[in-house]
Chain A
């Protein structure tokens, strides 16, 4: 269970720091709908794990997850993404420097997140238009007026990217030096991390530090700490140089309007996470309740629920989503008075997208749970409960629900990656998130136009695809580990 404690710490620290920052800077906290649901989800997860820790039979499969080196390495990557997403979920309206007439604080209309604040440099150092990764000059030629007044057509220097360089030929050296320094710092941080981990493990198992250290390095611990450390090391080795370079360069270039692509990619993470998690949150009560009811009661209740999900299923998902999103769009457009800020409007559309996706995707899990409930209701312990005259509600909550929870959990983690990928497609089709919301889909959609340019502007696309690939791959690998640990059939088969 140690990885869970670690997860908790990793989640709580940024949240606490963010709250503190908002309080200290006397900003006005803004809780968007999706923020509230994310924190609700977080609280629910915390409650679940607290409950699991106290019940050995529930903790056992998680122990198996914790013993999977691929799964835990994937978890480390996922946690990094989740941390970014959480930091991006603490919203506020910054206090303006100018106090109001009565000396009270006045807040900007713009809603920012803690990530925006942390990446203020990235956000503010915009260029005029495209520039390639780590470039010092723009991507297309412009008419430039030289000091002597003559005009030439050339690539202009960027306003921020590499602007500190007197001599552009020193760019490679500069980059290399910055990278090496950052790597050294990353290595140091990693060493501290490893040492702290070893010390904590040693303390917990009351072993000598040296023994624990050697066990850690030799991968002889039950939890694959070494694999997790290596993953964390790779992450640090990528993140530190990127951070160091982003102070002076556009690491992943800039887009059409000169925004830093790295910033866009980081902002997209939250959108992906929200869609991947909140959708399941919407779908879960529906599929669990209806699925179990259909299987348990059978008869006309079953007929009715089956009719409902066959009907919903029969409408092509994209079209149903498109129709519903168009409707929502009409509602939003015709009632602009309901949304004080653009951020709130975009957020509500995101939430609606989650709800719509949830409404169209509950049928799969419901069908699975129906089948399971059909099997369970014939089991002898349920018959025994009937022999005691136990009520249906109690049989469902005490006997059936706990015995299908593993399926719900597997579905939950398996659906996540599919939803993240679906967002990109839907946004491309034009029925995804609000165009003002930064997401992988909107990034790809915007960059697609640049395909035709010669030479091609490839970095925005590549950045979006790479971030999305890493996130989805980590989610898929983690989901596999969870499924292997929870699915009794799979474990018997092997």
Chain B
């Protein structure tokens, strides 16, 4: 076996919480080899980031390491004096963080921040440091590096900032790079670029990477070995191949089963009952026992030790000690391959009955005011001519990267932002023409669910008041008794106990809050719900619960969803129809089957290809999308996508392409297909 770079043993870290000590890491061991990528995967709060920070001894001031050993090629890091430890940070071990936007110093230039590492660890100064910094920026794929050196972080896009972070990390030529959710804040196409970069750098430099992530897709794409963390401990460790083909720990199995995707369309997603146990006490039992469907007596009376299954596959589970090779549950991770079940049943028939919602050529332009008299000098064309159709009981997914205007579309349909132009027809009524009371009267028919379960509920309002607010304001229920009855009914509908109504939002977890937000939207019996990324702030197991709930509500109540998201797996699981948005416009729309299985627009193709998938573990992907989303203030002339399009021709620059109908439901705005249809 290759030599070990970093060996962590029995690491325990505590965080001083308000009143109680949280054992954030409770005995972690891992062994990182030279040149490998080792992924730690787990849900929020499991201690994966704390592990990374403990290794570098960069814990927040409330945290402290209470036991264990972290040895880097024989040097014990935990007992090093602080001054010597500073020699390790940035030189032997470098780290990049989740939020490139806040992780760079806003008032220092990129050049200074890179050169700082060179000065500290390589003793380079002045021109030498500058030249080396230039090389580094070049190596991480920052275009025009000489100019970028003199720029400040705010002048860089998110993807470029993360590249600069990586350049800074590489400056000390570390043996180990710790990447803590390095792409979570980035769009999927940018994520793909950054992940590729990391992989290429690793190959060139033989550096080890400790990758911390919650995304199994990224693990599949990046990792050589994988560890799953749960409640402060690693519960399973394996080579990537074995991990994805034969996961063993019941928690790992549940994580796989909770992932949405095309293969699970018909059915419910698996959910993990209960919640992560509080980490304030000592565990006398398996920490997953309470939520495990295979748990037996022993699981509740003793803590499981590692069970070795061979080939480096280890798992902390009593089941594996007793029934060694026998597969648990369905055995392989229940993820359907690309050739799974058809996406939506009866897609072509499409029940194109009466459209509930028809959006035509909708535009939302925000004026930019400049100069002495605050004259309008231009517009942010957040939404620039969008057409959508949604029928009752169906789900239309609006897909796109951040900044493409999809959230504004949702708000404009609800008239929370007034469209600058175009038509929004709801059940034949033109909403943009309604004002004041007339609009208020119809507001019960369309509602919205937001992304952030913490910001979407007023912390000062009891659940009952939050749920009752809409009914009171819109007068949908006749009297107080009816309101109370409706609240009980709603809580039952979203799977919360009746007592919940007397409580305040802070007493609920993120998933429960999102249920309350759903109940609040349902309270006024809407026909359409705009779901604005309702699961993107949730862990995968909680996301599964919410998706299941949304699906069953749609079945029972015949709701129509406009599902705004960037998560392709969720779209595959939930959507009947898909519209892909790029820079304020829809570039491709059609049935889910049509758009996701045979994407036509080059952007759709690139977007889908960029999504890391667990099915594609280890396979090489095709061409990446270059560059980043242009500004909606000055969209490129002609087809908005042409500067990034691999198939762009001179013609693309001339005019925005008309929609081309490929089937009764499938339309694409791309010049490639006009020629095709003309030719054919």
Contacts and interface: CB of A to CB of B under 8 A. Distances in A.
A–B proximity contact (CB within 8 A): yes
A33 interface: no
Contact of A387 (B414, B458, B461, B506): B414
B460 A387 contact: no
Interface in B47-81: 61-62
B242 interface: no
A379 B62 CA distance: 30
Contact of B455 (A381, A386, A388): A381
Interface in B521-539: 521, 524
Interface string A384-413: 111111110010001100110000000000
Nearest to A378: B455
B523 to A, nearest CB: 9
A386 B412 CA distance: 13
Contact of A388 (B411, B458, B459, B524): B524
B504 A56 contact: yes
Interface stretch (B121-129, B290-298, B420-428, B442-450): B442-450
A494 interface: yes
Interface string B398-417: 00000000000001001010
A299 to B, nearest CB: 13
Nearest to A402: B460
Given A381-B455, A381-B458, A389 B439 contact: yes
Contacts, number: 70
A384 B448 contact: yes
A389 B458 CA distance: 16
Interface in A461-494: 491, 494
Contacts of A380: 450-452, 455-456
Interface string A352-392: 00000000000000000000000000011101111111110
A413 to B, nearest CB: 20
A383 B447 CA distance: 11
Given A389-B439, A390-B473, A384 B456 contact: yes
**B: contact size bracket:** 35 or more
Interface string B35-50: 0000000000000000
A383 B520 CA distance: 13
Interface in B484-541: 504, 506, 517, 520-521, 524
Contacts of A385: 469, 473
A184 B263 CA distance: 85
A335 interface: no
Nearest to A379: B455
A403 B466 CA distance: 15
Contacts of B455: 379-381
A166 interface: no
Contact of B458 (A391, A399, A494): A399
B58 to A, nearest CB: 17
A206 interface: no
Contacts of B459: 57, 403
Contacts of B448: 383-384, 387
A465 B21 CA distance: 44
B469 A388 contact: yes
Interface residues of A, number: 21
Interface in A253-309: none
Interface string B305-338: 0000000000000000000000000000000000
B474 interface: yes
Contacts of B10: none
A386 B473 CA distance: 10
Contact of B473 (A381, A389, A494): A389
Given A57-B506, A394-B473, A388 B460 contact: no
A57 B473 contact: no
Given A56-B504, A390-B469, A391-B473, A381 B457 contact: yes
A56 to B, nearest CB: 7
A392 to B, nearest CB: 12
B241 interface: no
Contacts of A388: 443-444, 447, 469-470, 473-474, 524
A398 to B, nearest CB: 7
Contacts of A391: 473
B440 interface: yes
B443 A381 contact: no
A403 B504 CA distance: 14
Contacts of B469: 385, 388, 390, 398
Nearest to B461: A398
A379 B456 CA distance: 7
Contacts of B470: 387-388, 390
A403 B458 contact: yes
Contacts of B460: 57, 399, 402-403
Contact of A389 (B440, B450, B504): B440
B416 A383 contact: yes
B487 to A, nearest CB: 15
A59 B210 CA distance: 44
Nearest to A403: B460
The residue among A57, A380, A394, A494 with the most chain B CB atoms within 10 A of its own CB is: A380
A400 to B, nearest CB: 9
Interface in B423-441: 439-440
Interface string A50-72: 00000011000000000000000
Contacts of A56: 504
A399 B456 CA distance: 12
A387 B474 contact: no
B474 A494 contact: no
A431 B545 CA distance: 67
Contacts of B466: 381
Given A380-B450, A383-B450, A385-B469, A57 B456 contact: no
B456 A381 contact: yes
A386 B469 CA distance: 11
A402 B465 CA distance: 14
Nearest to B436: A389
B506 A494 contact: no
Contact of B443 (A389, A398, A403, A491): A389
A385 B440 CA distance: 12
Interface in A122-169: none
A399 B455 CA distance: 12
B456 A387 contact: no
A389 B414 CA distance: 11
Contacts of A491: 18
B457 to A, nearest CB: 6
A54 to B, nearest CB: 12
Identify the interface centre among B61, B451, B459: most chain A CB within 10 Å of its CB: B459
B445 to A, nearest CB: 11
A402 B504 CA distance: 13
A409 to B, nearest CB: 13
A386 B664 CA distance: 37
A462 B234 CA distance: 66
Nearest to A60: B506
Contacts of B520: 384
Given A380-B452, A380-B456, A403-B459, A57 B504 contact: yes
A438 to B, nearest CB: 43
A288 B337 CA distance: 59
B416 A387 contact: yes
A491 B504 CA distance: 20
Count chain B CB atoms within 10 A of each CB in A56, A386, A387 and give the residue with the most: A387
A389 B455 CA distance: 19
B275 to A, nearest CB: 21
Contacts of B411: 383
18 contacts: A57-B460, A380-B451, A380-B452, A380-B456, A381-B455, A381-B456, A381-B466, A384-B448, A384-B521, A386-B416, A387-B446, A387-B448, A388-B447, A389-B473, A390-B473, A398-B465, A402-B461, A491-B18
Top 5 A-B pairs, shortest CB-CB distance: A402-B460, A389-B440, A388-B470, A380-B450, A380-B456
Given A388-B470, A388-B474, 11 more contacts: A57-B506, A380-B450, A383-B450, A384-B456, A385-B469, A388-B524, A390-B469, A399-B458, A402-B460, A403-B458, A491-B18
